[in-house]
Amino acid sequence: MFEENLAKRHAFGRAFQVLIFSATVTGLVLLGILLWRVSVAGLPWLNWNFVTSFPSRLPAKAGILSALVGSMLIIAMTSVFSILFGIGAAIYLEELSAKGRLNRFIELNISNLAGVPSLVYGILGLAVFVRFLNFERSILAAACTLTLMILPVIIITSREALKAIPVNLRMAALALGATPWQSVWSHILPAALPNILTGVILALSRALGEAAPLIIVGGVTYIAFLPNTMFDAFTTLPIQIFNWAGRPQVEFQGIAAAGIIVMLVVVLTTNAFAIILRNRLGDRRY
């Protein structure tokens, strides 16, 4: 009887392993096909003029400069806001706040907010930042909206990173006379920083590819100038690509594919830089 049950468990395990492997291979194959089609359609349009030119209604003159600069400005401001408030909230909830009903209520709501669709954050940003705070349809309103969207993810991942630090490290710092804040700043946070940065990287990658909330808060599809202040109008790479993909001319389909290639390069470059920074901080945390 035991041997029969053991054989069934082994068979179930092998079947599950084959299923997971098949799902992985299917995803990789579909990703490869997508990248191949985008490369075939976009590479003929990809050149230096495309990167340094403004959008145009003529396919031969269309460029992505304003969208590229807009994305970089928005994601830079979003990084500052989300890292500051996200990691600060995680430290307070995990290390400094009293464990009670209010704390549990806040944790529950943060977990729920992590699953809210991005479109809802766009509506919230329109109501709060564009209209109530009178930021208008600006880069600042877009950055604040994206910050709200990714804050729950950063808070949750940062808290998990802080929980993973052994309690002995906290007790040793307190035993030597450090205050709770000194132990967090000097010992806990440096040890947890590599894992915290992993969550930040994933959250910012999501923000860089969002289009729906930015369209709601005022992202426009055609801008032939570069913004000078944080209150200027903006467009981003996803919005510009969406605009080109909806054009009836066949040429704009290739231009949209070229824009996708540029966005992939931007995402991979920023992620690579963040991963290198995370690894270096991990080597020096002790």
Q: pLDDT (tens digit, 9 = 90+) per residue, 198-210? A: 888 888 888 888 8
pTM, to two decimals: 0.84
81 and 214 part of one domain: yes
Question: Is 14 in the same domain as 117?
Answer: no
Is 278:194 a contact under the CB 8 Å cutoff?
A: yes
Regarding whether 205 and 97 lie in a shared domain, the answer is yes
Choose among 77, 92, 88, 86: nearest CA to 114: 86
Which of the four pLDDT bands, split at 50, 70 and 90, describes residue 177?
confident
pLDDT (mean) for 67-95: 90
Task: Write out the residue range of the structural domain in which residue 155 sits.
Answer: 50-284
Question: What is the pLDDT at residue 270?
Answer: 82
Residues 22 and 127 in one domain: no
pLDDT in the model for residue 80: 92
Residue-wise burial string across 214-241, b where 16 or more C-beta atoms lie within 10 A, e elsewhere: bbbbbbbeebeeebeebebbbbbbbbbb
84 and 212 housed in the same domain: yes
Res. 282: pLDDT tops 70:
no
pLDDT mean over 42-54: 87
- 86: Cα within 13 Å, side-chain hemisphere: 31
Average pLDDT over residues 211-237: 83
